[in-house]
Structure 1
Amino acid sequence: MNSQFKKSIKFSLSIAVITFVLAAIFSVVSTSILSDVIWIIGSIVVLIIVLIGVLFDMLGIASTAAAEAPFHAMAAEKVQGAKEAVIIIRNADKFASFCNDVIGDISGIVSGTASGMVVIQVSNLLGHADGSSFQITLSVIITSVIAALTVGGKALGKYAAINSSTKVIFFTGKVVHFIEKNLKIRLLPKSK
């Protein structure tokens, strides 16, 4: 096996493990939050999860669409976030995989599960038994709304990511710089 294939296998396995852990965390947190709140707060939590998925999908697309050149002069002048933007662009395949596949897909799955909990809460509030025609209709409506918001939001995010990729990645670079400098959490590989 060549070294590139081995690296690809290693990355795929590590991303699968990260996905498992993050999915478990997202699921536990959303379930524990939703189990103790009223349906309106639950709906807001579902919308936040959808927005997280849309945002990370946009970041992944922007990383593949952005050009590295505008950030070199900024990095030479030590503009905060420029060096991180270059690292993001140079690792666009991995960054996009993490943002789109890991966070984006987890958000989609968790928002579906969370919306199911909202349906149950609303049905119980209105005194409808599990499996009633009301609950099924409500489930279809809420699922359809969540799907429409997710797909529509991602379409809008893709437009912004492609047409403003430099701005999106520069902002992302600034956020990463802030987190790495102030919170001492390494998010990106070291630049070579």
Structure 2
Amino acid sequence: MKNKNINTNYKWILHITIITFFLATILNFFSDVALKESNLLVAFCILGFIVLIGIIFDIIGTAVISGREEPFHAMAAKKVFGAKEAIKLLRNANIVANFCNDVVGDISGIVSGAALMAIIVKLAFEGPKGSIYTAILGGLLSAITIGGKAIGKNIGIAKSQSIVYTVAVIFAWIEKNTGIKILPDYKNNNKNNKRKKRK
């Protein structure tokens, strides 16, 4: 049996690794500092925000996998702002989904777990009852995270085109104002096909 060649984008792997490092470091740092200085209400709000980040990125990852290129090609032909970036997102769906669903999902899960432990320390649970309360809070966190992602996946599939375009507009704005290309350029297959037919 012949081994299949696997195309590995080492540049993107390095890019995503650096982004993951800084994202995880920033989230861990700010959540740790904020939780130490806040009361219980604010601490629970911070925990909710961390969980929400994971759910939002899960929605984006699902939307990119579910989205279709065709409507954005028509928009790109009319030079609609963000249309080309939408095509980039869909052409790099596996990379984007991996980052949104796995990388950000894992980071938010780890950080939210650490945030919950900080809250438990603030509540000063002790003895057998403390173990029960800790287990209940941990179960609630897991249920909210998993339930939120389940709902998010349905939203991502149902509203895939509008979600992809919204993210694409944000990317386009960043590229326009900073010059930083978040995703690699795509090749216009339609033009390439026309050239082949002429030959």
State the TM-score, normalizing by the size of structure 1. 0.86
Alignment of 1:12-161 (within 5 A): 12=13, 15-16=16-17, 18-123=19-124, 128=125, 131-161=126-156
1:136 partner letter? S
- d(CA) in 1 for partners of 2:170 and 2:32? 28
- d(CA) in 2 for partners of 1:149 and 1:156? 10
- d(CA) in 1 for partners of 2:158 and 2:38? 39
Residue identity over aligned pairs, in percent, reads 40
Hey, what does 2:158 align to over in structure 1? 163
Hey, what does 2:170 align to over in structure 1? 175
Q: CA deviation at 1:185?
A: 4.0
Q: CA deviation at 1:17?
A: 5.1
1:79 partner letter? V
SS of residue paired to 1:141 = helix
- d(CA) in 1 for partners of 2:12 and 2:179? 24
Deviates more, 1:149-158 or 1:176-185: 176-185
**Contact 1:120 / 1:135 at 8 angstroms: preserved in 2?**
no
Change (3 A) 1:49 1:4: farther
Deviates more, 1:9-18 or 1:76-85: 9-18
Q: CA deviation at 1:135?
A: 2.7
Q: CA deviation at 1:32?
A: 1.1
1:118 partner letter? I
2:147 partner letter? G
- d(CA) in 1 for partners of 2:34 and 2:175? 28
SS of residue paired to 1:188 = coil
Change (3 A) 1:181 1:135: farther
- RMSD over aligned Cα, in angstroms? 2.3
Hey, what does 2:191 align to over in structure 1? none
Q: CA deviation at 1:180?
A: 2.4
1:54 partner letter? I
SS of residue paired to 1:5 = coil
**Contact 2:88 / 2:183 at 8 angstroms: preserved in 1?**
yes
- Count of residue pairs the alignment pairs up: 185
Change (3 A) 1:13 1:134: farther
Deviates more, 1:4-13 or 1:23-32: 4-13
- d(CA) in 2 for partners of 1:110 and 1:93? 24
Unaligned runs of 5+ in 1: none
1:153 partner letter? G
Unaligned runs of 5+ in 2: 188-199
Larger Rg: 2
SS of residue paired to 1:35 = helix
- d(CA) in 1 for partners of 2:53 and 2:99? 13
Change (3 A) 1:109 1:168: same
Q: CA deviation at 1:6?
A: 5.9
Change (3 A) 1:177 1:18: closer
- d(CA) in 2 for partners of 1:8 and 1:188? 12
